Amino acid sequence: MTAETTVAHDGAQTETLVLTLPGSTYTDPTVFARETDRIFGRRWMCAVRVADVAATGRFATVEIGGESILVVRGRDQVLRAFLNACRHRGALVCTEESGAVRRNLQCPYHAWTYGLDGALVAAPNLSSLGDIDRTRYGLVPVASREWLGYLWICLADDPPSFEDSVIGAVTDRLGDAAMIDRWDVAGLALAHREIYEVAANWKLIVENFMECYHCATIHPELTEVLPEFADGLAAQYYVGHGAEFASDVDGFTVDGSAGAAALPSLDPEHDRRYYAITINPTVFVNLVPDHVIVHRMFPRAADRTSVVCDWLYAPDVVASGHDVSAGVELFHRVNQQDFDACERTQPGMSSRAYRDGGVLVPAEHHIAQFHDWVSEMTA
């Protein structure tokens, strides 16, 4: 975090501006390749919603860190992740984004056949495979961990601590390790999913999510519900702080109408508040009384990022067909507004005006921690 200047002032308070990362870090393909290796290829990445692969033989494929990852549920009900490449000649074992197999995973090129646990169980004309070969030529396993109803994976040989790097990020933000349990995120049901293809660097999307200095300018609906956001300080600015709903709104909805009933395990103190959490590098969690919104980013190139956004409600709300559209619509608009802003920022990253970066105002200073984290990871 490099202080750039102190803005002139007549009062007592000093407004320091802090430098951002230089523009090239948002545009240079070699920087993106290094981030792919050092960040997406070594950190815990939120891959797949567990409920999307609920039954034995259900699988999903997802691209992370330049790899096609195959997630499949075994006969033992364990969810496992593998590199989605046949050990024989490298063909994708599963090409669909999701689906189900009956007993085994079979490469459709030469019919090498893998158990749902990844072991090679059959290969034509290699009738006499030994146990060693079954493992040696099994699908390459990828470290995985279930949390918040998602399977998180890590491509590193020696993954960092999940407790420190993922759960720790939530604790640091909320100030309380147990607090997120009140939402029972893993127990919620998917009410809506939206996929956004954003023509911007993933770091711009993180920075955008971390600050609310832009809220007054581009989020009219959100600031109606959360008036303090109009002042420019993000909920993430203070540990444990949740932005309070406006006194005249009944729920976290696009028109202020009431949402669903608050989740049963919540304390009354969370009843009219919005909490936002960034989990580096690519996950955002938004907590409101009646639902949870989870963003998973999939960086595709220096200037292109896919974002999958899930709206999660109580299972009975979803099962009953309760109309949640006013709740979904609020953050869908926020997403569109944010991603439009990121897309109009991306071109400026290659300007000589941004060669040494831009500046963070005081309400954005916490973004410097993200910049420091990125710099440290890619050093």
**Are 92 and 114 spatial neighbours (Cβ–Cβ below 8 Å)?**
no
Q: Which of 44, 202, 313, 354 is in the footprint of a copy of itself by CB under 8 A?
A: 354
Stretch that binds a copy of itself, among 79-87, 257-265, 278-286, 304-312 (CB under 8 A): 79-87
Q: How far is the CB of 114 from a copy of itself (least distance, A)?
A: 12
Give the burial class of 307: count Cβ atoms within 10 A of its Cβ; 0-12 exposed, 13-18 middle, 19 or more buried.
buried
Tally the C-alpha atoms within 13 A of residue 209's C-alpha that lie toward its C-beta.
25
Q: Where are the beta strands (DSSP E) in the chain?
A: 3-7, 15-19, 45-49, 58-64, 67-73, 79-83, 98-100, 105-106, 113-114, 120-122, 141-147, 150-154, 189-198, 243-244, 273-279, 283-287, 291-301, 304-313, 359-360
Q: Which of 50, 51, 92, 122 is in the footprint of a copy of itself by CB under 8 A?
A: 92
Q: Which lies closer to a copy of itself via its Cβ, residue 116 or residue 212?
A: 212
User: Sign of torsion, CA 53 56 62 66?
Assistant: positive
Strands 98-100, 113-114: pairing is: unpaired
Helices (H) and strands (E) in the chain, counts: 10, 19
Q: Which of 156, 341, 368, 377 is in the footprint of a copy of itself by CB under 8 A?
A: 341
* Total interface residues for a copy of itself by CB under 8 A: 67
Stretch that binds a copy of itself, among 105-113, 188-196, 245-253, 268-276 (CB under 8 A): 105-113
Q: What residues numbered 17-46 form the site for a copy of itself, per CB under 8 A?
A: 20, 23
Q: How far is the CB of 222 from a copy of itself (least distance, A)?
A: 15
Q: Which lies closer to a copy of itself via its Cβ, residue 164 or residue 372?
A: 372
Binding site for a copy of itself (CB under 8 A): 5, 7-11, 15, 20, 23, 66-68, 83-92, 95, 108-111, 123-126, 128-133, 136-137, 139-140, 155, 207, 213-214, 216-218, 231-232, 341, 344-345, 347-354, 358-363
